[in-house]
Amino acid sequence: METNAQSDNIHCTNFYRDGFVIIENVLSEEQKRVLHSECERLTNFVMDQGYDLMSELGGIIEPVNVGYEDPPETQTFVFNKRAYIRNRDKISTPDSLTNIIFGVVKDLVAKLLPKPTEDEPLCLFNEQYIVKMPRSVNESAFAWHQDTQYMDKHAQELYPVISCWIALDDVGPDNGTLLIEPLPFIINTQETISNIPQVSSYLEYFGLRADAYAPPLDTMEALDRSILSGTDGRQEEFVISSSDGSLQEEERPQSRYRTPVLVKIPAGSIVFLSGHVRHCSLGNPSPLFRRAYMPQYSIGPVFNRAGCLISLAVPCEDPAPLQVPPVFDDV
């Protein structure tokens, strides 16, 4: 029987090898209910305000910026955990959602990031719902991208970020799922990596891997080449092939393109995505909404080259405020 420590090691090994890892059935039924309820409330609010969810907002709803509650008098909530929780509890049932953000999801993502320090703690960097309207196959597709591309070069080189894409509905090829291109292999080695505690070494490792990407495949070609995640598809190079977690030599692809992975997971499962891994998502042709919730985490507050805080910098552990300059850039 697999222990928690063994399971954690496999997840970390997969993440460092591929740039992402899928962990199924993480959230409880109650946690899913909380997220469903808030997502529905905010979606209805946006639509009642007259916005076209897809064409005007791209399907993105940021709870703290959508205008559901009057804006706080100060921006202290951006870098103070207590203030952030007070602000969030006005939108959702008190403590229910922040216990997810600063509880189960934080505990898992912390194992995939470098070791935090007093000066550079694990921080909530952003959170958003990603909602795809029914029968929006053309409007709701997301092109190939890497999440770091939304940060300037300065921030990319200094701050590790992981996105935690949480399926709120059962997700698959028929309702707008993710398509992920794993990070390229750049060295032919049996070495298994499951932890890089130093920020600079961590960023260098993932940055070098991402720099080796070939130009993106056409989405349809990538679909033709893809394998389905989970029990419905053969995992090929994504399966740990030996007891120590290493890949066997003959499994290492010779092409710069690795097999794309088409995600099929039940609601409450999480796809942890390195900011460097390339991914896109399909449109939603189904008659139902397709909903996901995506908190993002960083090591330390993230500043751009001008010294402005570019998003949230809420410490996950220490409720005291970070000592950051009160300068913000479109927070």
Question: What single DSSP character describes residue 287?
Answer: S
Find the range with the poorest average confidence among 120-129, 256-265, 298-307, 313-322: 313-322
Model-level pTM? 0.89
Residue 322, C-beta contacts closer than 8 angstroms, at least 6 positions apart: 79, 80, 121, 123, 301, 313, 315
As a whole number, mean pLDDT of residues 195-209 equals: 95
Scan for tokens 């916005």, then name that residue.
Answer: 51
pLDDT for the residue 69: 85
- Model confidence over 124-158: pLDDT tens digits? 999 999 999 999 999 999 999 999 999 999 999 99
pLDDT for the residue 191: 67
Question: Which backbone phi and psi does 118 adopt, to 5 degrees?
Answer: -60, -40
pLDDT for the residue 109: 98
pLDDT bin (cut points 50, 70, 90) of residue 159 is very high
Considering the domain 16-315 in this protein, what is its CATH number? 2.60.120.620
Alpha carbons 75 and 58: distance in angstroms, whole number: 25
pLDDT bin (cut points 50, 70, 90) of residue 185 is confident
Nearest to 146 by CA among 13, 22, 257, 280: 280
Going from the C-alpha of 14 to that of each of 79, 141, 143, 219, 237, the distances in angstroms are 32, 26, 24, 24, 10
Is the torsion defined by CA of 294, 328, 54, 178 positive or negative? negative
The residues pairing with 179 across neighbouring beta strands, listed in sequence order, are 262, 280
Alpha carbons 68 and 39: distance in angstroms, whole number: 12
Question: In this model, does residue 235 exceed pLDDT 50?
Answer: no
As a whole number, mean pLDDT of residues 15-43 equals: 96
Helix (H, G, I), strand (E, B) or coil at 16: helix
Find the range with the poorest average confidence among 73-77, 98-102, 162-166: 73-77
The vertex-27 CA angle with 164 and 179, nearest 5°, equals 40
- Model confidence over 264-290: pLDDT tens digits? 999 999 999 999 999 999 999 999 999
Burial 111-140 (b: 16+ CB within 10 A, else e): ebbbebeeebbbbbbbbbbbbbbeebeebb
pLDDT bin (cut points 50, 70, 90) of residue 113 is very high
As a whole number, mean pLDDT of residues 72-82 equals: 88
Question: In this model, does residue 122 exceed pLDDT 70?
Answer: yes
As a whole number, mean pLDDT of residues 222-246 equals: 54
pLDDT for the residue 243: 34
What does the domain layout of the chain look like in residue ranges? 16-315
Alpha carbons 93 and 151: distance in angstroms, whole number: 32
pLDDT bin (cut points 50, 70, 90) of residue 5 is confident
Q: Which amino acid is at 14?
A: N
